[in-house]
Amino acid sequence: MTANNSNTHPDSEAEITIDGVGKTYEEGTKEAVEALRDINLTVRDGEFLTIVGPSGCGKSTLLEILSGLVSKSEGSVKIGDEEVTGPRSDIGVVFQEYSLFPWRTVMENTEFGLEVDGVGKKKRRETAQEFIDLVGLEGFEDAYPNELSGGMQQRVAIARTLSGDPDILLMDEPFGALDEQTRMYMGEELLRIWGETQKTVIFITHSLQESVLLSDRVVVLSDRPGQIRDIVDIDLERPRDTDIVQSEKFNEAQSRIWDQIKTDVEENVVEGNAN
């Protein structure tokens, strides 16, 4: 279920190739900070891939590099055969903060990107309605953000991003500010939306349970500088719902991921670096 508009890359393929990517932050006279080192990964077209790791391991930095918002220090990122050199219309980003305009309704927030891109009022209203319906907010088109729960506000943010019809959806802890029950519900909703749209999704989370529930594969990063420590294939049937968290395969996958990051997490807690 996608909307065709002039912003998409018509020849874009959503397979992402990350080759030898590293990132070092130069902080003036302070010592340089190496955030990422030698990241090599191929994200398949239509895949749901999650990145986990200890706090400060460079997860968000990697996502910012993939989005074109932050430059890499070395290596390359390609979508299909095209190098990512800056923000692109075929990449949509959803952050933990909802970033909604408080003076705009659900409908007006959802169609904002289309409005900026010059899409006519009738077309952008139809497109926005399509994605409002997709995220389950029909009937709330005229509501303002302060009238919505946190989960509903995040659904507006997702609808707004999807309305631009990106091939790739990058999501940085989108449910991190929600309570556990709402978070589980939003995970199921995201799986439904992903199933209907077939986007390539790269998702960052601190929740190991969430990573296994949602993903085809989970990439485990080491402590800084972030390097790929493991890639875990999630061998669980789809479609999935939260009942699957009780299964033996689910718990085995979650335990494998935890074993990979446990030492780093323990060291961060002892040193007071965890958040």
pTM of the model: 0.87
pLDDT range class, residue 9, cuts 50, 70, 90: very low
Neighbours of 237 (CB within 10 A): 8
Ordered strands of the 74-79 beta sheet:
33-43, 16-25, 74-79, 82-83
Domain presence at residue 107: yes
- What are the tens digits of pLDDT across the range 103-149? 999 999 999 989 988 899 999 999 999 999 999 999 999 999 999 99
Question: What amino acid is encoded at 150 in this protein?
Answer: G
Domain presence at residue 124: yes
- What are the tens digits of pLDDT across the range 171-193? 999 888 888 888 888 888 899 99
Domain presence at residue 9: no
Domain presence at residue 11: no
Domain presence at residue 3: no
Domain presence at residue 50: yes
**Contacts with 228 (C-beta within 8 Å, 6 or more apart), sequence order:** 39, 40, 41, 219, 220, 221, 222
Domain presence at residue 7: no
- CATH of residue 87's domain is 3.40.50.300
Supply the range of the domain harboring residue 233: 16-271
Domain presence at residue 10: no
Domains identified in the chain, total number: 1
Backbone angles phi, psi at 167, to 5 degrees: -80, -30
